[in-house]
Amino acid sequence: MNRTLVIYDTTLRDGGQSEGISYTAEDKIKIAKKLDQFGVDYIEGGWPGSNPKDIRFFEKANDLEWKNAKIAAFGSTRRANCTVSEDKNIGLLLKAKTPAIAIFGKSWDLHVTEGLRTTLEKNLEMIYDSIAYLKEKNKTVIYDAEHYFDGHKANPQYALETLNVAVEAGADCLVLCDTNGGTIPKQLEAIIEHTRAQNISASYGIHAHNDSDVAVANSLQAIQQGFDHVQGTINGYGERCGNANLCSVIANAALKLKIPTSKNLDLKELTRVSRYISEIANIPQRDELPFVGNSAFAHKGGIHVSAIRRNPKTYEHIDPALIGNHQRILISDQSGRSNVVFKAEKMGLDIKGDNDNVKKIVDHLKELEHYGYQYEAADGSFEVLARKATGEFHPFFELQGAKVIIEKREESSAYSEAICKVRVDGVVEHTAADGHGPVDALDKALRKALEPFYPSLKQLYLVDYKVRVLDSSAATASKVRVLIESADNDSIWGTVGVSENIIQASWQALVDSIRYKLLKEMKKIAKKGGTKSKPVR
């Protein structure tokens, strides 16, 4: 099979219509650069006729060199009441100075008569004039047949006429759009078969929305029926329920259907691209996203873990490294011995044949989870727990006492101050610090006390802080679970604390975070042939 799948990314335009996303022009440039490095073929920058922000994006994009992708502008066919050369939106498309232009026209007679309020014949003229005019300007023209599948269901003859006209005008690709996302794969298959049977000579593409939760399935169905152009967004962002998730489409097409993409597309960067764009969009990446999600290759059940330790294929449909992800073993009250042994080995603890220590860790883990602890996202706390249970824990410091003062001052927000006393190798350090809240103050006071002994703590920073009420029926006396995500220059880790007192729960998670960081430094020193981490003062 001699074909290459063209990847057309519309994260910046369709994805920007997702609820909760509002890109700046600078955000869009950052995302476009990442997509270009990744190796997609087209990046749809936006609709220059819709807002000044998109115009600024195209101005900036024209000053940059694009290594792999062509930038595309997006817009509609000319209006019914003017000539194409006089149409303002067509003029703005050309002003964007992109090598490619995606232009959409109406395929559904309902939209022609009720949306555009024009005649069916007039709509055909609008499609022809717009494409022909842009081709005269030496543009690659991608024709998006909007609402094609709904239009074909309602009036197949007219929907097909719109495609014929687009081809006659010189369109480089016909993209059939399931704009409302209501078509299911079997319907889509039949409509594609009927369309292709008309012998309309063209390159075909698919643009699927996810309102019926089958956008990826529909995209793959079209690809299997010979379409060589696919549109979608990273992480499935888009209006309403989103668009086809290109992460899943690309991975399935390349790894399952064995259809090659551009040689410049780096599949191993897929997970990194997904997470980068979620950060720029300021939308937390869904853990359960297929292929690229944090939970995509996470294993919790003990039987599963026992099997994948022997052969990962038993419970993993692909090698996660192929798309830049990795296997994770979760620790919970459902964990068996295999989970604990696997995690311990990853931490450098050899307890495979130590039945007593394995049982001790498993029993303690289940007891703590019954109390409210959860270790699935708290690898840092789990390592501290495991090392304590096996006697291989280095405490680094001893807490002598801590106090938090919260004071409400007139005409100002509450003031928080923390006082902390710790002992490190016989030396007592007594510090105080204020913060934006009691937890921030505690964190600053503890770091202030410890950094003279352990300068590496200056690299430690907070990524996220979450609080969950475990028993709302207890009202303000409810037990809470605090999950803290911390990071340094090398990695990110989670720690957990549980208590009826939110300050106490936060303190537990903070201390575990610092101790995990120091454990990491101790292991680094040991690898270099040194001894246990010692205070520097």
Could you tell me if 212 and 344 lie in one domain?
no
Could you tell me if 233 and 169 lie in one domain?
yes
Tokens of 64: 């940059």
Could you tell me if 124 and 202 lie in one domain?
yes
pLDDT of residue 351: 66
Please say which residue of 321, 345, 366 terminates a domain.
366
pLDDT of residue 513: 92
For 398-441, write each residue's pLDDT tens digit. Answer: 888 888 888 876 666 677 899 999 999 889 999 999 888 888 89
Please state the separation of Cα 381 from the chain's center in Å.
25
Which residue type does 137 have?
K
Whether residue 53 is contained in a domain is answered as yes
Which residue type does 417 have?
E
Could you tell me if 348 and 416 lie in one domain?
no
d(CA 11, CA 276): 13
Whether residue 189 is contained in a domain is answered as yes
Whether residue 487 is contained in a domain is answered as yes
pLDDT of residue 475: 61
- Residue 180 belongs to domain with CATH number: 3.20.20.70
| DSSP letter string, 109-126 | HHIIIIII-S-HHHHHHH
Q: Which residue, 463, 473, 515, 92, is CA-closest to 284?
A: 463
Could you tell me if 408 and 522 lie in one domain?
yes
- Cβ atoms of 257 and 222 within 8 Å: the answer is no
Could you tell me if 313 and 197 lie in one domain?
no
Could you tell me if 352 and 486 lie in one domain?
no
Q: What angle do CA 413, 419, 424 make, to 5 degrees?
A: 145
Please say which residue of 213, 244, 265 terminates a domain.
265
9's CB contacts (< 8 A; 6+ apart) are 35, 40, 42, 43, 44, 69, 231, 232, 233, 234, 246
Whether residue 386 is contained in a domain is answered as no
Q: Which residue is listed with tokens 């990795």?
A: 326
pLDDT of residue 381: 82
Element containing residue 55 per DSSP (H, E): helix 52-61
Could you tell me if 229 and 347 lie in one domain?
no
Could you tell me if 254 and 347 lie in one domain?
no
Whether residue 378 is contained in a domain is answered as no
pLDDT under 50 in the chain at which residues? 532-533, 535-537
Whether residue 514 is contained in a domain is answered as yes
Could you tell me if 253 and 356 lie in one domain?
no
d(CA 484, CA 512): 10
What range does the domain containing 328 cover?
298-366
Tokens of 249: 């489409």
- Cβ atoms of 315 and 305 within 8 Å: the answer is no
Q: Give the SS3 label for residue 162.
A: helix
Could you tell me if 307 and 443 lie in one domain?
no
Q: What angle do CA 486, 487, 488 make, to 5 degrees?
A: 145
Tokens of 197: 């049977």
Could you tell me if 321 and 196 lie in one domain?
no
d(CA 126, CA 106): 10
Burial-class residue 289 by CB neighbours within 10 Å (0-12, 13-18, 19+): buried
Whether residue 282 is contained in a domain is answered as no
Whether residue 377 is contained in a domain is answered as no
Q: Which residue, 88, 37, 40, 32, is CA-closest to 60?
A: 32
d(CA 199, CA 402): 79
Q: List alpha helices for 137-226, DSSP H.
A: 148-154, 156-169, 185-196, 215-224
Total count of domains within the chain: 3
pTM of the model: 0.72
257: left (phi over 0), alpha (psi -120 to 50) or beta: alpha
- Residue 428 belongs to domain with CATH number: 3.30.160.270
d(CA 162, CA 139): 20
